[in-house]
Homo-oligomer: A and B are copies of this chain.
Amino acid sequence: MASTTTTPLPRRLPPNVTPEAFQTFISRAQSIVGVENVTVVDPQNPLDDGTYMDNCKAHDMHAVYERDYFVASAVVAPRGVPEVQAIVKLANEFVVPVWPFSAGRNVGYGGTAPRVPGSVGIELGKNMNKILEVNVEGAYALVEPGVTYFSLYDHLVKTGLREHLWIDVPDLGGGSIIGNAVERGVGYTPYGGMGALPEPGNPPGLAAHEQKPNKAWQLFNYGFGPYNDGIFTQSNLGIVVKMGIWLMPNPGGYQAYMITFPRDDDLSAIVDKIRPLRLQMVLQNVPTLRHILLDAAVHNPKSHYTDKNTPLTEADMDEIAAKLNLGRWNFYGAVYGPEPIRAALFEAIKAAFLTIPGSKFYLPEDRKEERGVLHMRSDTLQGIPSLDELKWVDWIPNGGHLFFSPIAKISGADAALQYEVTKRRCREAGFDFIGTFLVGMRDMHHIVCLVFDREDPEQRLRVRWLIRTMVKDCAAQGWGEYRTHLALMDQIANTYNFNDNALMKLNETIKNALDPNGIMAPGKNGVWPATYDKEQWVL
């Protein structure tokens, strides 16, 4: 029987959508954004992970379930705000769930994959990737979703503005400024602690943050009345089509440094030194305290150091540290400002940390390696984006990874306990502990990097057991996670259950009011619209 359309059927249809309705939806979408901007996930084609820079768009590059569980039915790439609005209208008409993303490099948290299999991905970054404004006087930029740290940085360099304005960047430069901000990601300059300031330009059909009459809306983003920006972060209430981001004026001087600490159990003492210095802003930026294996993994795969498949022992790690001339913990920071200010800060920093026996202080030029972690951090901490950190994902063959990111207060006792709990579980699951503490103004994001063989179903099973167990362990200790992978969203949301789940009730009430058909990223961070039977969907 001849079909009126050549649209293939996807691997997975959106829930409760018939093949015919799907095909009509796709042809309507094609007429909105152009045929070349609609890709149906054809079951004939294998689900190829691609690479970080050439990333897959319809599934999780580092799948922890089967690759075709969190998979889109199609990906649509609008060319401007009216097309975004038209696609959202169409999705409402057909009750097709959509999953917006910007650059789609949310690696370790699900990449571009949707929470609900068969959702239609909305790829904002492909065609909407303009830097709309760089304002030197006000030190801000206005960007579209496709603008990455790399592209904004390159623009500043090319236009000669980088001399005046620095960007706050996360570890990898390929992410989008909007994607990272709406997820409340972390950067490492003095502007990292403040977080990016998300400015949902105009979530279609829902809101408008751009402010008339306030033409200074990128300088004073609160406006008047309820301040709504926050509800468009880590949420499923709208699509961010542009965003203002504060840039950091060139501080007039910069110097990165590293302090190494020889013993695994120095952790507690180090963190108790960090707290007062960070509170006083003697530590001006978001410094990191990295476990030896994170640095080791950036340098080489595990096979370079050992033949073992089992978790490394304390002795192994001491050996690696000695070989790399690093500590068991390594602290990376920077000082910003003119020379006298840097000198005063350095004095206080050294006075505090170097009392820890065996600690050593390094500037980049003190290190002999060609490009060691300190050299990389020296770039990152001044807002120069890179891909260096990607290397630790290759710690084991077919390296995939999953982030476990609990929050702790800046306290030696808390850090030591959180390290002990997570390290023990990693070993139990047969994995090496690899991790780092990112120090915010008053908290630490403890980022545990779970590296697993993504071609090995048994390892995927183990890594899932591991993260689910750690979520429970940490909740029992009073620690919650700040962000997570698709697979963990329900479990983690459920730990934020104060006052009979009042927070989730609030989130659901707002969700149902703003998105009555429940089409916008259903299930994101555990928030399910009333149109879904939550019990059935929870993983």
From B214, B228, B499, give the contact of A230 (CB < 8 A). Answer: B228
- Residues of chain A from 210 to 234 with CB closer than 8 A to chain B in the complex: 210-216, 219-220, 222-234
Interface membership of A51, Cβ < 8 A? no
Interface membership of A380, Cβ < 8 A? no
Q: Which residues of B contact A502 (CB under 8 A)?
A: 202, 206-208
Is B219's CB under 8 angstroms from A227's CB? no
Interface membership of A259, Cβ < 8 A? no
Is A213's CB under 8 angstroms from B475's CB? yes
Chain B nearest CB from A380 CB (Å) reads 21
Is B497's CB under 8 angstroms from A527's CB? no
The segment out of A21-29, A113-121, A449-457, A480-488 that lies at the interface is: A480-488
Is A225's CB under 8 angstroms from B219's CB? no
Given A223-B503, A482-B222: A498 touches B276 (CB 8 Å cut-off): no
Prevailing SS type, chain A contact patch: loop
Interface membership of A19, Cβ < 8 A? no
Is B234's CB under 8 angstroms from A226's CB? yes
Interface membership of A61, Cβ < 8 A? no
A-side interface residues, number (CB < 8 Å): 89
**Per-position 1/0 for A487-503, Cβ under 8 A of B:** 00000110111110011
**Per-position 1/0 for A181-218, Cβ under 8 A of B:** 00010000000001100000010001111111111100
Is A479's CB under 8 angstroms from B214's CB? yes
From B227, B233, B483, give the contact of A234 (CB < 8 A). Answer: B227
Q: Give the residue name and chain of the B residue nearest to A225 (CB).
A: B525
Q: Give the residue name and chain of the B residue nearest to A230 (CB).
A: B227
Is B513's CB under 8 angstroms from A222's CB? no
Given A252-B280, A442-B246, A525-B225: A478 touches B230 (CB 8 Å cut-off): no
Q: Which residues of B contact A390 (CB under 8 A)?
A: none
Is B224's CB under 8 angstroms from A233's CB? no
A-B contact pairs, 16 of them (CB 8 A): A138-B442, A207-B502, A207-B506, A212-B496, A214-B496, A216-B478, A220-B482, A224-B481, A224-B483, A224-B484, A225-B507, A246-B441, A249-B276, A252-B280, A341-B344, A510-B513
